[in-house]
Structure 1
C-alpha cells in the first residue's frame, strides 16, 4: 500500500501523515472523508493513511500488546492459545506467527490456521483443510469466511488433542 500510495500521489506516506496531523483531524472517518474530498483519494488509500496517522493499524502495535488486548478479560483462554502455539511450532521452523487485532495467523508460505478468542470462554480455531469433510467437531468455517475452510471450537486445553494436532499438521503441510 505504501509503495502504491507513492506511485499514485507522488508523495510519501510520511507526507500524508504530516498533512493529516497539521490539519488537526483525529477521527478516522473524518480523515478518510478529508483525503477523499480534498485530495482525490480512493477509500482504500484514505483508510490506509488514516490508520497509519492514528497508529491504529495492527502493524503499529507490537505483538505482545496485540496478544494482551486479545486476551483481556479472557485470560482463561490463554493456556489453550499457548498449547496451540507449542504444538504448531513443532511442525517446523518455517512457521510465522502474525498477531492481528483480534486473532493470530499461523503462516508457512500461506496461512494455514487462525487462532481467535471468540468469546470469554471459547477460542475459534480456523484451519485451511481443502477437501476435508465437515463433521461434528470440524465445522464449516463460519465467521472466518474464505480465510479458512473449517472451524474448531476450543474451550479447554484438553481440546488440543491428537486429532486436532493432526488436522493442523495436514493444514501446515498443504500451506506451501
Structure 2
C-alpha cells in the first residue's frame, strides 16, 4: 500500500530531525538566510556546508520554495502553459502508468511529472511545445534508436521522445511497464 503525501512528508520531517537535531522549519530558514536562489545552489550548500544527505537536502529546498504546499493541479497546469496540445499525450501516459499497479503514483512538479512506486520509475517532461520526453529508469538496458540512453547521473537512464498519442505505442508501453517492474 502506497503512503499518502502527508505520511511521506511526516516521515521526512521525522528523519531530518533525527539525523540533524533540527526541524524542517529551522533548515528552511537556513536556506532562505543563505541568499541562494537556485535549487542546485541551495542543495549544494546544504550538502557541503551542513553535511546534509541528498534526499533531506532536496526535501528542505522543496519546502523553502513552497513546493510542498503547491497544488498538484496548478503545477501540472504550469508545465503545459503554452504547450496545451501535449496534454492528451500526458494524460495517456499518466493513465497507462497508473494502470500498472495500485502503488503507482503521479507526482507533478514545476517542470516534470514523476512516476513513482517504491522509487521513481519514469518522468514525463514537456520538453518543447511539440514534444514530451518520457524518461525511464531501465538500468542495464542497452537502448535502441527510440530508447535513447541518457548520460550518467541523469534522473532517468533512458528517454523516449514522443510527439503524439500515437507515438505512445505498445513498444513504449512495454518499456514503461518494465521500468515500473524494476522500481
TM-score norm. by structure 2 comes to 0.71
User: Partners in 2 of 1:12 and 1:147 — Cα distance?
Assistant: 28
1:85 pairs with 2:98: no
- Structure 2 counterpart of 1:61, from 59, 67, 70: 70
Equivalent in the alignment of 2:7: none
Contact map agreement 1:28 1:51 (CA 8 A) in 2: no
> Mapping of 1:67-78 within 5 angstroms?
67-78=76-87
> Considering only aligned residues, what root-mean-square deviation do their CA atoms show, in Å?
3.2
1:154 is aligned to 2:162: yes
Change (3 A) 1:28 1:89: same
Q: How does 1:27-176 map to 2 (within 5 A)?
A: 28-29=35-36, 42=50, 52-53=63-64, 56-142=65-151, 145-175=153-183
> How much has 1:147 moved relative to structure 2?
2.1
Q: How does 1:3-18 map to 2 (within 5 A)?
A: 3=14, 6=17, 12-14=23-25
8 Å CA contact retained: 2:142, 2:149: no
- Which residues of structure 1 form unaligned runs of 5+? none
CA contact (8 A) 1:128 1:150 kept: yes
Residue 28 to residue 124, structure 1, CA distance change in 2 (3 Å): farther
Contact 1:122 1:153 in 2 (8 A): yes
> Radius of gyration: which is bigger?
1
Counterparts of 1:153 and 1:43, CA distance in 2: 37
Instruction: Give the C-alpha shift of residue 160 in structure 1.
Output: 0.6
**Which ranges in structure 2 are unaligned for 5 or more consecutive residues?**
1-11
Q: Residues 1-46 of structure 1: CA distance to partner in whole angstroms, max 9, x if unpaired?
A: 64466457755444676x78xxxx899528x99xx9xxxx738689
